[in-house]
Amino acid sequence: PEECAVFHCRGCWTVLGDSLQLCGQEPPGLSVLICFKVTSDVTWEDSLLVGLEGALLGCAYYLLSCRSCGLAVGFILYSSGSDLAYLRGLFCFFKDSIICYLLKNQMIIEASKVNFPAVTLKE
């Protein structure tokens, strides 16, 4: 665990997850961290949203929010085309909404600037 990190909400620093739960590589066009588990401070509504543009065009998903400050921090994909099917049911954090605390270096860094070791899911 050289690369262990804790994921914090950019808005209020609440802990949302960690790098031990990473389970996939980000797809082209989406700047996300893909996790199979998050903390209880991540919430989502029962209502589905539909992507109207970009990489989530035509996809149905639940928006993830920080329980403490309400910031939108990611999504759970409900339905998609075959290219994103492997993400269905997983927690996808927007890198722009997350700050990483690197345990080894005791550094705080933007999630978009961290390169975690490759983790892949079997399709």
Say yes or no to pLDDT of 98 above 90: yes
How many Cβ atoms from other residues are within 10 Å of residue 102's Cβ?
16
Q: Is 112 strand, coil or helix?
A: helix
pLDDT average, residue stretch 89-94: 95
Could you please report the per-residue DSSP string of 39-55? -TTEEE-SS-EEB-SGG
Say yes or no to pLDDT of 123 above 80: no
pLDDT of the residue at 23 = 86
pLDDT of the residue at 120 = 57
How many Cβ atoms from other residues are within 10 Å of residue 21's Cβ?
17
pLDDT average, residue stretch 86-102: 94
Mean pLDDT in the chain?
89
Say yes or no to pLDDT of 58 above 60: yes
pLDDT average, residue stretch 105-122: 76
pLDDT average, residue stretch 18-27: 85
How many Cβ atoms from other residues are within 10 Å of residue 70's Cβ?
12
User: DSSP strand E in 42-94: where?
Assistant: 42-44, 49-50, 60-66, 72-79, 91-94
Question: Which CATH number applies to 5-113: 3.30.1950.10, 3.40.50.720, 1.10.10.10, 2.170.150.20?
Answer: 2.170.150.20
